[in-house]
């Protein structure tokens, strides 16, 4: 018996447990600079400092808010805390080359309309690194900035039940050429990249949020090596083109709206070597690509334990699926609007439900994989039937469609060269590797 599905479940149970402690944001103990003792007037000291000065916060509470409007570094250990004043943003970084390193930021205002944040960034070459953020509405908000680095921060939201009342953990707005890497974000609303081209979102861990990363009108971005766990949606791409989406784990996007990767009216996406595990819908495509000159490519992805591996809103041409693995899913594909996926290219994918043969021994089936599933067609036409997805009655519907030609469903998709044996992925996420080591 293939033990991988059990390893996936074990890994996700260990990684997503509600009681799991968040990691500790830490940096090397800061050296040098002018020491600012707790209780001193921080804003006055910042205003008096020369451009390029380094201010080292001593342990204890430092009263905010504070505005840094030029190339000054504020640094400290995690035991040095800048506390919000109950309104507005707690730390504001403006100008060029200012830095916030290592300390804790606690609290902010609570107004969504003014986007009250722990850290508000508006400038160039600004760095926020190794900071612990807690008790704030928004975490790090970057607005109309260039070459910003948001790295290795621990950003903890308030976990409000109504996700729309949370602030975003990280938001890039009209921001270019920036890096968001190595951050841990929990219990916020979204990680947002809007109107922001040419950025890199890499190596982050986002859990228990609404959108793990939400792109809109943001072209030429890279999102890779991230872990998205227990979010409503892992990654959603809207009205954007030329994104590289690589080596991400998108797992346990559950509930009726759960989606690992959603794509709307976006094109020239390269979706490669990602893992979609235990999502309601692994990949969802809506009118993508929109531009007739664009294509989307899906290569080497693993889609397992999802209710529906691939869901097309309607017929969606110029999508190319090759060398992907579909296994242990409730359904391989569903297409809305009584449509099909015959205008998409499927070639060389592995399907655990394929029942063909390989007489020439080349590792690929000698007969195409053609998916005809009456229950999926019925669910697409009558969405309320999705409540019965996986129920014995729907299995009986599929059995009837195979036995009685009158009820034979139309073909939803066709792979002319299905892979016969399950391939070894070129990339395995760290939680899966860890579970496998423990199983040994």
Domains contained in the chain, CATH given: 35-439 (2.160.20.10)
Under a CB-based contact definition with an 8 Å cutoff, are residues 216 and 238 in contact? yes
Per-residue pLDDT at 43: 97
Half-sphere exposure of 266 (CA within 13 A, CB side): 29
d(Cα 311, Cα 422) in Å, to the nearest integer? 22
Buried b (16+ CB within 10 A) or exposed e, 79-108: ebbbbbeeebbbbbbbbebbbbbbbbbbbb
Residue 371 three-state SS: strand
Per-residue pLDDT at 281: 97
Q: What is the widest separation between alpha-carbon atoms in the chain?
A: 85
d(Cα 369, Cα 120) in Å, to the nearest integer? 52
Beta pairing, strands 104-106 & 132-134: parallel
d(Cα 157, Cα 143) in Å, to the nearest integer? 20
d(Cα 129, Cα 90) in Å, to the nearest integer? 16
d(Cα 40, Cα 209) in Å, to the nearest integer? 37
Beta pairing, strands 117-124 & 138-143: parallel
Closest CA to 413 of 327, 311, 328: 311
Half-sphere exposure of 178 (CA within 13 A, CB side): 32
Under a CB-based contact definition with an 8 Å cutoff, are residues 2 and 436 in contact? no
296: enclosing H helix or E strand = strand 296-299
d(Cα 271, Cα 291) in Å, to the nearest integer? 18
d(Cα 289, Cα 252) in Å, to the nearest integer? 26
Closest CA to 213 of 196, 237, 188: 237
**Total residue count of the chain as it appears in this document:** 440
Per-residue pLDDT at 378: 57
Per-residue pLDDT at 14: 67
Per-residue pLDDT at 158: 87
Give the pair of three-digit tokens for residue 377.
């067609």
Under a CB-based contact definition with an 8 Å cutoff, are residues 277 and 304 in contact? yes
Per-residue pLDDT at 386: 60
Per residue in 226-268, pLDDT (tens digit) is: 999 999 999 999 999 999 999 999 999 999 899 999 999 999 9
Tens-level pLDDT at each residue, the chain (440 residues):
466 776 676 677 666 555 566 776 667 767 778 999 999 999 999 999 999 999 999 999 999 999 999 999 999 999 999 999 889 999 999 999 999 999 999 999 999 999 999 999 999 999 999 999 999 999 999 999 999 999 999 999 988 889 989 999 999 999 999 999 999 999 999 999 999 999 999 999 999 999 999 999 999 999 999 999 999 999 999 999 999 999 999 999 999 899 999 999 999 999 999 999 999 999 999 999 999 999 999 999 999 999 999 999 988 899 999 999 999 999 999 998 778 999 999 999 999 999 999 999 999 999 999 987 655 555 566 566 565 556 666 556 455 555 555 455 678 899 999 999 999 898 999 888 887 777 66
Give the pair of three-digit tokens for residue 60.
């204890």
Give the pair of three-digit tokens for residue 265.
């009216």
Per residue in 374-433, pLDDT (tens digit) is: 555 555 665 665 655 566 665 564 555 555 554 556 788 999 999 999 998 989 998 888
């Amino acid at each position: 018996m293939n033990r991988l599905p059990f390893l996936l479940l074990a890994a996700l149970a260990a990684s997503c447990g509600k009681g799991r402690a968040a990691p500790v944001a830490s940096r090397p103990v800061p050296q040098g600079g002018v020491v600012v003792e707790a209780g001193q007037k921080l804003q006055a000291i910042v205003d008096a400092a020369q451009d390029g000065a380094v201010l080292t916060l001593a342990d204890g509470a430092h009263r905010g808010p504070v505005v840094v409007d030029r190339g000054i570094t504020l640094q400290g250990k995690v035991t040095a805390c800048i506390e919000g004043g109950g309104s507005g943003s707690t730390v504001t970084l403006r100008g060029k080359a200012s830095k916030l390193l290592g300390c804790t930021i606690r609290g902010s205002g609570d107004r969504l309309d003014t986007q009250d944040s722990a850290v508000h960034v508006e400038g160039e070459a600004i760095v926020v690194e190794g900071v612990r953020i807690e008790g704030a509405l928004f975490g790090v908000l970057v607005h109309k900035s260039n070459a910003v680095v948001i790295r290795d921060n621990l950003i903890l939201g308030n976990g409000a039940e109504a996700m729309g009342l949370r602030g975003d953990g990280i938001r890039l707005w009209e921001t270019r050429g920036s890096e968001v890497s190595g951050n841990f974000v929990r219990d916020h609303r979204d990680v947002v990249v809007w109107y922001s081209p040419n950025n890199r979102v890499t190596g982050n861990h986002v859990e228990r949020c609404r959108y793990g990363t939400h792109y809109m009108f943001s072209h030429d971005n890279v999102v890779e090596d991230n872990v998205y766990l227990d979010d409503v949606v892992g990654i959603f791409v809207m009205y954007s083109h030329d994104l590289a989406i690589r080596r991400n784990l998108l797992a346990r996007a559950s509930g009726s709206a759960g989606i690992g990767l959603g794509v709307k009216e976006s094109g020239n996406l390269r979706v490669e070597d990602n893992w979609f595990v235990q999502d309601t819908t692994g990949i969802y495509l809506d009118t993508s690509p929109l531009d007739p000159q664009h294509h989307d490519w899906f290569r080497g992805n693993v889609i397992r334990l999802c209710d529906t591996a691939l869901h097309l809103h309607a017929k969606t041409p110029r999508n190319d699926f090759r060398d992907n693995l579909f296994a242990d899913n409730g359904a391989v594909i569903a297409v809305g609007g009584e449509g099909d996926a015959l205008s998409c290219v499927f070639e060389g994918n592995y399907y655990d439900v394929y029942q063909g043969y390989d007489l020439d021994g080349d590792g690929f089936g000698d007969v195409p994989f053609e998916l005809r599933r009456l229950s999926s067609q019925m669910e697409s036409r009558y969405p309320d039937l999705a409540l019965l997805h996986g129920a014995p009655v729907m299995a009986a519907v599929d059995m009837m469609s195979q036995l009685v030609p009158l009820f034979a469903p139309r073909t939803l998709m066709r792979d002319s060269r299905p892979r016969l044996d399950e391939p070894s992925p070129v990339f395995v996420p760290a939680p899966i590797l860890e579970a496998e080591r423990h199983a040994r």
